[in-house]
Structure 1
Amino acid sequence: MTSQTTIEKAPQAPEPASAPAKGLRGHPWLTLFAVAVGVMMVALDGTIVAIANPAIQRDLGATLADVQWITNGYLLALAVALVTAGKLGDRFGHRQTFLIGIAGFAVSSAAIGLSDSISLVITFRVLQGLFGALLMPAALGLLRATFPAEKLNMAIGIWGMVIGASTAGGPIVGGLLVEHVSWQSVFFINVPVGLLALALGLVILKDHRAENAPRSFDILGILLLSGAMASLIWGIIKAGESWGWGHLYTWFFLILALVLFVVFAVWENNAKEPLIPLGMFRSIPLSAGVVLMILMAFAFMGGLFFVTFYLQGVKELSPVDSGLRLLPLTGMMIVSSPLAGALITKFGPRIPLVGGMVCTAVAMFGMLSLTPESGTLATSLWFAVLGLGLAPVMVGATEVIVGNAPLELSGVAGGLQQAAMQVGGALGTAVLGAVMSSKVSSEFPANWKEAGIPTPPAPGLEQAAEFGMVPQELAKAPGMTPEGLAAISKVIHDTFMSGMGLAFMVAGVVAVVAAAVAMLTKRGANAEAGAGGAHI
């Protein structure tokens, strides 16, 4: 109850630390550079590992479920720990948690590269996710505390540019490393980057702590929220992976998550120093920003999941070529992120956010026109439009969430922003995966029959249609002719394209809903209060 009263006070002015810094330590733009190097390492790791998965599977003899958990274990740890990690930064200082996160992430990356079993790889990926959770909200907390309000949007714009470029550049870097070095190098590369980020952080970063930051920990709140998040993400992942959405276990974990969230809300409403003061959500713009981040990640990550299979399966491109085909997405995010920051500073976040989600919806609906014969120009156009739409949302939603939170809760707000993105991505991948699977199951038999293939489909071909990939061993099957292989390949590709089209349709509708939610956003109250802050 005490915390809710605090939330309702008049907006705070930026803390005095935002005045121009002398020397290296605490300099705003150098702080941004040091933070960006660390964030780049974590963002790159989100997509670079996907390219390495086939090589890991072959080298360690892993099953499909094992390979999925290389990603899912990381995602689960990251999503569960982000808000608690933000609280740690608010309590002990964002510089300390950032440096610990950098060091732990680099060490766990090296441990993965040295692992000789799939169980060790998954274990250290979970550890990697926990350290990544320490790092990400601390980065936002450092930017919030270092930059004056009128420069914060531009700083977050560059920060978003680094995340966007690293995320989209992952497949290119991963493809080059896997093809020319080894899958282990995908993880070893984090060691020198981590050492650089650690050295920069020790020299440049300045510790910032709000005077009224919480001094105790809501242990029960941490346990309840962690349990709720774990149950939610676990249920989503397993539903898309093996159980299905109608399975008893799926509903058990989803209902358990709902119960734990309700108990968490009741507890937080009465806790003396709650983990997440619920008064934060009385801010409609902050709540809208969280929902917007979930919906954006749902559409983006869910849609991008199928794009990679389209490029490598249907178009039969190599990992490196697939990454290069995504360059328009990367390039547009690099160019438009700082521009988005400038526009948000001048006009506020609402118009750029609505425009960004409209562009995202246009890109998703536009990708419905892709066919197995679509050329580079067609894919590049829609990837560029997608990058143009995502940039202002990544920047603007972050500013809305962090900017509308009290300064002493900037770490919690940063954790909320990142957790919303991870949950949205998990939902998008799982839900759109289920949509794809259902569409393939309903159309594959009819497409097979329509193709006039006399023999029934071999086991596994329907699953191949979910990925758009024709099994390599099919060409060597007894009695297989070039005409027969071409007919089967067409059935697999056509069925995949139909399922992908439905998935893009759902993602487009979600993006339209997100555009409506964006209408509820506005500039952070603290940013408005600091309009006359110090100049850099």
Structure 2
Amino acid sequence: MIPTLVMIALGAFVTTLDNTIVAAGAPSIARDLGLDLPTLQWVSIGYMLPFAGLLPVAGTLVDRWGQAATLRAGLLAFGAGAAVGGVAMTAWLVIAARVLQGAAAAFLVPTLLSLLRTNLDARGRAVGATVWTACLAVALALGPPLGGVLSEYLGWGWIFFVNLPFVAAMLALRRKVATAGRDPAARRPAAGSMLVMTTGMVLITAAVVRLGEGDVLAPVALGAAGTAFASWFVLREKRARERLVPPELTRQRVFTGALGVQMLWGLGVSGIFFFTPLLHQEFLGLGPVLAGLPLVVVAVAVVAATPLVPWAVPRFGPHRTVATGLATVAAGLLALAAVNHVPEVLPRIPSLVLIGAGSALTTPLTSYALEIVAERHSGTASGLLTASRELSSALGVALIGTVLAVVRTARLGEGAAPALAGGYTAGLLTAAALELVGAVLAFKLLKERAGRNPSPSDKRGDPFLTSP
């Protein structure tokens, strides 16, 4: 039991850390490699998009390839990406390293979670779920300040190199963890649909990023191509024998509503999270360490407010709980926009607390959606919810980055730092609007089965995939 718990703890921490550690080091990467804002966004997006695109089929491939082979290959690929990123001297090599790490993480996550099912009893799985969630929270809190410390004192390459001790430890521990072999009866993955969907996601994200460059023709062309691939995906799914998304899930209003609302939450929060250290360095004049430190407040607020969720849901229903959380996030973003002209950190802290506390209240988005799906679709539903979270993060960085870039360019006459602050304020207002739309949709779409108390047999989802 102990080797399995240690393995999943290390894996949960390092795959989540790579989502957040880049934020504080991104300004240093931009300065050293001479990156403009649109290119810098791909350092983050490059990890999130392959993570999101591969997750829907990764679980099936784990069954077909076996836990041992998938775990070994995933760790080696993740480590290779870290090594390449640490020594990279060009933007596209850094982005390629991030893509490799994101693809590897898409296989590592379902492999590690499957170890909980195969290696532990019911009590052990409960402990494992707690360990997994705790490691996610710790990585969320430590990522920005750790990225700042490494960038300031050792160089931004160590943002990548810091992954290698975790990979080495997991490779060594792998021999002590029992793993299941290949399952010849595992269903074939819908690889074709996955490829079409991922291509569409990349093209649409690229279109949003290119909007920030002031070009018109390229975003229109990329957007049209992305839309064409998205339409192809829909038609392919209708005719496919093995669907990427089972029709039973697409017909479930609460589940599709949860996916949509979660997308809106990620679109608003993730982009702001990525660009905050940049603002703190360029506008507030902070170093990499102090620039990332205020984001710890968000993580602490998430952890502190999470115990309210099991108290609130039975009393107010998941629809009101989630809607209140999104409204609270919007209030925090608007409050931050109101003080953004002040070049100090302290006035921003209450706003960051609101954003973190509100995000904690969105947890039922995942847990409630998993409770109402059939047991045979619980793994697929978990993968889709996790994938939508990663996709919304990638699109959020692209969208908020575009808003920031457009407004900053229009206000460059005021000076570089004030122009960046003006763009960040516009990004905050955009994010707040998205959160408010999400709050309205959550109240309406999650209301269908509100008040129902699921029986133990209904709780078929994966509890370790229920954090926002």
Q: Do both proteins adopt the same fold according to a TM-score greater than 0.5, normalized to the shorter chain?
A: yes
1:512 shift after superposition: 1.4
Alignment partner of 1:215 is 2:187: yes
Give the counterpart letter for 1:239 in structure 2. L
Alignment partner of 1:313 is 2:312: no
Report the counterpart of residue 38 of structure 1 in structure 2: 11
Residues 416-427 of structure 1: pairs in structure 2 closer than 5 A: 416-427=384-395
How has the CA–CA distance of structure 1 residues 412 and 231 changed in structure 2, closer, same or farther, with 3 Å as cutoff? farther
Alignment partner of 1:166 is 2:139: yes
1:304 shift after superposition: 2.4
Using the alignment, how far apart are the partners of 1:507 and 1:63 within structure 2? Answer: 22
Report the counterpart of residue 466 of structure 2 in structure 1: none
Cα deviation, 1:303-334, whole Å, max 9, x if unaligned, reads 22443233222221111112222222121123
Gaps of 5+ in 1: 1-22, 449-460, 469-492
2:433 to 496, 504, 509: 509
How has the CA–CA distance of structure 1 residues 269 and 315 changed in structure 2, closer, same or farther, with 3 Å as cutoff? same
Using the alignment, how far apart are the partners of 1:402 and 1:208 within structure 2? Answer: 27
How has the CA–CA distance of structure 1 residues 107 and 407 changed in structure 2, closer, same or farther, with 3 Å as cutoff? farther
Give the counterpart letter for 2:319 in structure 1. R
How has the CA–CA distance of structure 1 residues 371 and 293 changed in structure 2, closer, same or farther, with 3 Å as cutoff? closer
Alignment partner of 1:239 is 2:211: yes
Q: Secondary structure at the match of 2:356?
A: helix
How has the CA–CA distance of structure 1 residues 219 and 506 changed in structure 2, closer, same or farther, with 3 Å as cutoff? closer
Report the counterpart of residue 17 of structure 1 in structure 2: none
Using the alignment, how far apart are the partners of 1:93 and 1:148 within structure 2? Answer: 20
1:529 shift after superposition: 4.5
Alignment partner of 1:136 is 2:109: yes
Using the alignment, how far apart are the partners of 2:181 and 2:453 within structure 1? Answer: 17
Contact 2:264 2:434 in 1 (8 A): yes
Cα deviation, 1:159-186, whole Å, max 9, x if unaligned, reads 4553344234222101111222232222
Report the counterpart of residue 169 of structure 2 in structure 1: 196
Using the alignment, how far apart are the partners of 1:526 and 1:87 within structure 2? Answer: 31
1:376 shift after superposition: 4.2
Using the alignment, how far apart are the partners of 1:77 and 1:514 within structure 2? Answer: 25
Report the counterpart of residue 185 of structure 1 in structure 2: 158
Using the alignment, how far apart are the partners of 1:432 and 1:342 within structure 2? Answer: 34
1:352 shift after superposition: 3.1
How has the CA–CA distance of structure 1 residues 284 and 299 changed in structure 2, closer, same or farther, with 3 Å as cutoff? same
1:272 to 241, 250, 254: 241
Cα deviation, 1:427-482, whole Å, max 9, x if unaligned, reads 3333333333444455555xx5xxxxxxxxxxxx5xx3xxx3xxxxxxxxxxxxxx
Using the alignment, how far apart are the partners of 1:376 and 1:303 within structure 2? Answer: 16
Q: Secondary structure at the match of 2:342?
A: coil
1:530 to 437, 457, 462: 457
Q: Secondary structure at the match of 1:183?
A: coil
Report the counterpart of residue 220 of structure 2 in structure 1: 251
1:299 to 268, 275, 283: 268
Using the alignment, how far apart are the partners of 2:333 and 2:178 within structure 1? Answer: 40
Alignment partner of 1:121 is 2:90: no
Report the counterpart of residue 229 of structure 1 in structure 2: 201
1:370 to 339, 342, 357: 339
Give the counterpart letter for 1:427 in structure 2. L
How has the CA–CA distance of structure 1 residues 232 and 126 changed in structure 2, closer, same or farther, with 3 Å as cutoff? same
Q: Which of structures 1 and 2 has the bigger CA Rg?
A: 1
Contact 2:38 2:401 in 1 (8 A): no
How has the CA–CA distance of structure 1 residues 405 and 330 changed in structure 2, closer, same or farther, with 3 Å as cutoff? same
1:126 shift after superposition: 1.7
Give the length in aligned residue pairs.
457
Report the counterpart of residue 74 of structure 1 in structure 2: 47
Contact 2:208 2:402 in 1 (8 A): no
Q: Percent identity?
A: 27
How has the CA–CA distance of structure 1 residues 99 and 238 changed in structure 2, closer, same or farther, with 3 Å as cutoff? farther
1:499 shift after superposition: 3.5
CA RMSD of aligned residues (A): 3.8
Using the alignment, how far apart are the partners of 1:525 and 1:200 within structure 2? Answer: 43
Using the alignment, how far apart are the partners of 1:532 and 1:130 within structure 2? Answer: 30
Contact 1:341 1:392 in 2 (8 A): no
1:84 shift after superposition: 2.7
Using the alignment, how far apart are the partners of 2:451 and 2:77 within structure 1? Answer: 33
How has the CA–CA distance of structure 1 residues 197 and 509 changed in structure 2, closer, same or farther, with 3 Å as cutoff? same
Contact 2:370 2:381 in 1 (8 A): yes
Report the counterpart of residue 401 of structure 2 in structure 1: 433
Q: TM-score, normalised by structure 2?
A: 0.82
1:141 shift after superposition: 5.5
Gaps of 5+ in 2: 461-468
Q: TM-score, normalised by structure 1?
A: 0.73
Residues 8-157 of structure 1: pairs in structure 2 closer than 5 A: 24=2, 31=5, 34-56=7-29, 67-89=40-62, 91-92=64-65, 97-98=70-71, 100-115=73-88, 117-139=90-112
Q: Single out whichever of 373-382 and 318-327 deviates more from structure 2.
A: 373-382
Q: Secondary structure at the match of 1:530?
A: helix
Report the counterpart of residue 463 of structure 2 in structure 1: none
Q: Secondary structure at the match of 1:503?
A: helix
1:509 shift after superposition: 1.8
Residues 267-416 of structure 1: pairs in structure 2 closer than 5 A: 267-337=236-306, 339-340=308-309, 349-373=318-342, 375-393=344-362, 395-416=363-384
Using the alignment, how far apart are the partners of 2:192 and 2:86 within structure 1? Answer: 36
Give the counterpart letter for 1:516 in structure 2. V
Contact 2:317 2:450 in 1 (8 A): yes
Using the alignment, how far apart are the partners of 1:68 and 1:295 within structure 2? Answer: 19
How has the CA–CA distance of structure 1 residues 292 and 434 changed in structure 2, closer, same or farther, with 3 Å as cutoff? same
Using the alignment, how far apart are the partners of 2:304 and 2:108 within structure 1? Answer: 25
